[in-house]
């Protein structure tokens, strides 16, 4: 007897469809929770705290992010804190930091930032949030570091790069202020450290280079200070104060060419700098003189012998003038500068003690002695048929100190001299003025 094959029982279509739909819904739900959050497209702080992280995320994170976008940081912080209680993931903590910063409490976020930044590779959202927390807490330098990292992780976001640039300027300004404060306390190591970091952050800033120059000058490194000032000027600093500082240092460091360039430029814009420009031009001229005359022109306290040396060098007429005075200075004979000194004595430019026959060549040239020297020289080099208006009919320099000084001032001689004696620069300028007055001397009107 042949047996018929058994046929499996037919399933009801309704039950099969229900099981398929239930499985499909479950798969979609699980897939949605497990997928990493898509970049939300925010260009700058705050960023979606879920970015670069994989879910699932508590619903409180979505509510918190929505509240941040709506400008309600208090509601956002509550939502993120609730989410953190359910699932203490990174997204909820980043969101809490963003909410605290936007609520005006950036310092509250700093401990969380320190912990999260030290625990692993941070996301762009965490870097920008903690960068903003530092920035709004007054730490622009620390904020710059984090924002640069955030911008590097998300190079397509111009907002992060723009904020990093803003913080770069703020960080540079902060370091300059800190460096100046440290310099004010003569904490030179701290000052140099801060200004070096500022130069690294903003190497294109004239103001930072000028501040570095101030610190180097104050700490005694004047050559480096001049380089810093020149760098600031090359970068576009047109601040007269910076240029004048550079010019003064150039003169002090025997770089008259630089000083002339700086002070001539300043004098074109402001006539008050003309005396400094004249001083620089004189220094440039003196730099090419023989060593004895150069030393004399740079003396802070000119000696009587050095005054004679300068006059001998600048006035060939002294060497050729006829001498009628038979006065001899016994202390001038055996010196290297004896020719200049004895000729100055013979022409009456320097007085000699009548009792001792000493000219005191190494003594300081006093203001009255310098006045008499210059007035007598002016009379010697002015042609006999000419008159110098400031001298009038004077043919002999006054012996009285007060009269000599008054006459010298009337002729604009020694106008910059101060103190009991004159400097080499003062006397050299006065010798130039003597030349100018003699050249402009007038022929008296015939009666």
In 3-state terms, what secondary structure has residue 166? helix
In 3-state terms, what secondary structure has residue 303? strand
Nearest alpha carbon to residue 83 among 73, 93, 74: 93
Q: How many CA atoms lie within 13 A of 392 on its CB side?
A: 5
Domain 59-169 and domain 204-286, same fold? Reply is yes
- Asked whether 235 and 243 are in contact (CB, 8 A), the reply is no
Q: At what angle do helices 304-314 and 367-381 cross, to 10 degrees?
A: 20
Q: What secondary structure does DSSP assign to 320-358, as a single string?
A: HS--------GGGTTSTTHHHHHHHHHTTSS---TTT--
β-bridge mates for residue 387, sequence order = 442
Euclidean distance between the first and the last CA atom of the chain, given in angstroms as a whole number: 175
Domain 59-169: give its CATH code.
Answer: 1.25.40.10
Residue/partner pairs of 400-409 with CB below 8 Å, 24 or more apart: 401/368, 401/371, 402/368, 404/368, 404/371, 404/372, 404/375, 405/367, 405/368, 405/371, 407/371, 407/375, 408/370, 408/371, 408/374, 408/375
Q: How far apart are CA 253 and CA 247, in angstroms?
A: 10
Query: Residues 158-167: pLDDT tens digits?
Result: 999 999 999 9
Confidence (pLDDT) at 292: 92
- Asked whether 147 and 133 are in contact (CB, 8 A), the reply is no
The architecture CATH gives domain 204-286: Alpha Horseshoe (1.25)
Per-residue pLDDT of the chain (447 residues; tens, 9 = 90+): 444 444 444 444 444 444 433 343 333 333 333 333 444 457 889 999 999 998 899 999 999 999 999 999 999 999 999 998 877 789 999 999 999 999 999 999 999 999 999 988 899 999 999 999 999 999 999 999 999 999 999 888 899 999 999 999 999 999 999 999 999 999 999 999 999 999 999 999 999 999 999 999 999 999 999 999 999 999 988 899 999 999 999 999 999 999 999 999 999 999 999 989 998 999 999 998 999 999 999 999 999 999 999 999 999 988 887 776 667 788 888 888 888 998 999 898 999 888 888 999 999 999 999 999 999 999 989 888 888 888 877 778 888 889 999 999 999 998 777 778 899 999 999 999 999 999 988 776 644
Domain segments of the chain: what residues?
Answer: 59-169, 204-286, 292-439
Nearest alpha carbon to residue 359 among 391, 375, 337: 337
Query: Residues 206-258: pLDDT tens digits?
Result: 999 999 999 999 999 999 999 999 999 999 888 999 999 999 999 999 999 99
């Amino acid at each position: 007897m042949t047996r018929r094959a058994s046929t499996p029982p037919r399933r009801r279509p309704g039950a099969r469809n229900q099981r398929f739909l239930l499985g499909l819904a479950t798969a979609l739900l699980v897939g949605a929770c497990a997928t990493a959050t898509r970049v939300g497209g925010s260009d700058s702080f705050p960023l979606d705290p879920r970015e670069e992280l994989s879910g699932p995320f508590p619903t409180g994170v979505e509510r918190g992010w929505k509240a941040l976008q709506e400008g309600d940081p208090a509601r956002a912080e509550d939502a993120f804190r609730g989410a953190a209680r359910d699932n203490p993931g990174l997204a909820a903590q980043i969101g809490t930091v963003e909410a605290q910063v936007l609520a005006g409490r950036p310092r509250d976020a700093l401990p969380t930032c320190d912990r999260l930044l030290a625990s692993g590779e941070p996301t762009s959202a965490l870097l920008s949030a903690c960068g903003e927390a530092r920035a709004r807490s007054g730490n622009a330098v620390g904020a710059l570091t984090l924002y640069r990292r955030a911008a590097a992780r998300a190079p397509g976001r111009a907002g992060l790069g723009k904020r990093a640039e803003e913080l770069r300027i703020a960080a540079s300004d902060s370091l300059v202020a800190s460096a100046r404060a440290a310099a004010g306390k003569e904490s030179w190591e701290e000052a140099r450290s801060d200004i070096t970091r500022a130069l690294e952050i903003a190497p294109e800033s004239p103001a930072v280079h000028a501040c570095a120059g101030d610190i180097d000058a104050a700490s005694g490194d004047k050559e480096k200070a001049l380089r810093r000032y020149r760098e600031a000027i090359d970068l576009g600093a047109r601040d007269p104060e910076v240029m004048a500082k550079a010019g003064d240092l150039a003169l002090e460091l025997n770089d008259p060419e630089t000083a002339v360039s700086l002070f001539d430029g300043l004098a074109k814009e402001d006539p008050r700098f003309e005396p400094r420009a004249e001083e620089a031009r004189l220094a440039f001229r003196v730099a090419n003189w023989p060593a004895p005359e150069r030393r004399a022109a740079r003396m802070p306290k000119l000696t009587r012998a050095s005054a004679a040396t300068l006059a001998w060098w600048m006035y060939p007429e002294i060497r050729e003038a006829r001498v009628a005075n038979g006065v001899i200075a016994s202390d001038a004979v055996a010196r290297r500068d004896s020719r200049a000194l004895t000729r100055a004595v013979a022409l009456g430019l320097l007085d000699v003690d009548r009792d001792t026959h000493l000219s005191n060549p190494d003594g300081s040239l006093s203001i009255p002695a310098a006045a008499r020297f210059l007035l007598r020289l002016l009379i010697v080099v002015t042609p006999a048929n000419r008159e110098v208006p400031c001298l009038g009919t004077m043919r002999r320099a006054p012996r009285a100190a007060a009269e000599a000084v008054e006459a010298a001032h009337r002729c604009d001689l020694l106008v910059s001299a101060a103190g009991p004696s004159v400097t080499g620069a003062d006397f050299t300028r006065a010798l130039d003025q003597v030349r100018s007055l003699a050249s402009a001397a007038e022929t008296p009107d015939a009666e």
